[in-house]
Amino acid sequence: MSLTRLIPMPNGLRSFLQLQRGMLFQYGWLRSLRSGKPVDRHGRPVPWFSQPAIDFLSQFDYREKDVFEWGAGHSTLFWAARCRSVVSIENNPEWAAYLKDLIPSNVELIASTPDNESYVGRIRGRGKFHIIVIDGTGYGRMPCAAEALDHLADGGMIILDDSDMLLQTTRFLRERLTQIDFTGFRPGSGHAYATSIFFRTLDFKPLGVQPVLSPAQPNKPWQPE
């Protein structure tokens, strides 16, 4: 089948090229692919979450917020640039060593073994966190979810990545909190994934206008309402 039958010309071709430019370049997908790291179009670190989840999370002011992560990575650098403090647990020693030279002073990076106390239990005794990320490959995400509920600050959120492949953990959190799913492509990845956010109430102020324009949004004037 020819391209002309799949995409009516010329408006279809224009839309196809806009889609290609938006995803590959303006969202930084191609830059992520080339670098082997999740980054935006400017090369700044972003979490390896679904792009809709990244768009949602990028619009809030986190300067007075504290983050706990099971699973360190470029998300650690993303949060460190925005939040007051980040505690990140990582059970891969090579990956932890790589990140050690990249993290700023507001990050506590803890190398862990994948057992319950060293990995899951490291959140205990640290108080409450406004953002808790469950995205590691350690002891298991279900035990992390149970711990997260006890350490979530009022107005905070729990972020579960790969939630479409973790149905029991997703159901466990959904039965106790409100769930919103963000499904889409990851930076540099050819497959769609789901990143889910769970909360009782959300207390995050926007950085400016909400919702913000996406990187691929054409520069158009605001519409009359």
pLDDT (0 to 100) of residue 20: 66
Sheet holding 129-134, edge to edge: 107-111, 85-90, 66-70, 129-134, 152-161, 192-199, 178-185
Q: What is the pLDDT of residue 139?
A: 72
What stretches of the chain adopt beta strand conformation (E)? 66-70, 85-90, 107-111, 129-134, 152-161, 178-185, 192-199
Residue 1: predicted pLDDT: 43
pLDDT at position 224 is 73
Per-residue tokens: 106:
């507001």
Instruction: Please tell me the distance from the alpha carbon of residue 161 to that of residue 145, in angstroms, as a whole number.
Output: 12
Alpha-carbon gap, residue 100 to 79, rounded angstroms: 15
Domain boundaries, the chain: 42-199
Sign of the CA dihedral running 94, 81, 131, 52: negative
Alpha carbons 114 and 44: distance in angstroms, whole number? 29
Along the 225 residues of the chain, how does pLDDT read in single tens digits?
444 455 555 567 666 666 566 566 677 778 888 888 888 888 899 999 999 999 999 999 999 999 999 999 999 999 999 999 999 999 998 999 999 999 999 999 999 876 667 899 999 999 999 999 999 876 789 999 999 999 999 999 999 999 999 999 999 999 999 999 999 998 888 889 999 999 999 999 999 888 877 777 766 666 677
Given this model, what pLDDT does residue 4 score? 47
Architecture of domain 42-199: 3-Layer(aba) Sandwich (3.40)
pLDDT at position 33, please? 84
Closest CA to 87 of 112, 108, 113, 65: 108
Closest alpha carbon to 123 in 99, 102, 139:
139
The contacts of residue 63 (CB under 8 Å, 6+ apart) are 82, 83, 84
Confidence (pLDDT) at 210: 85
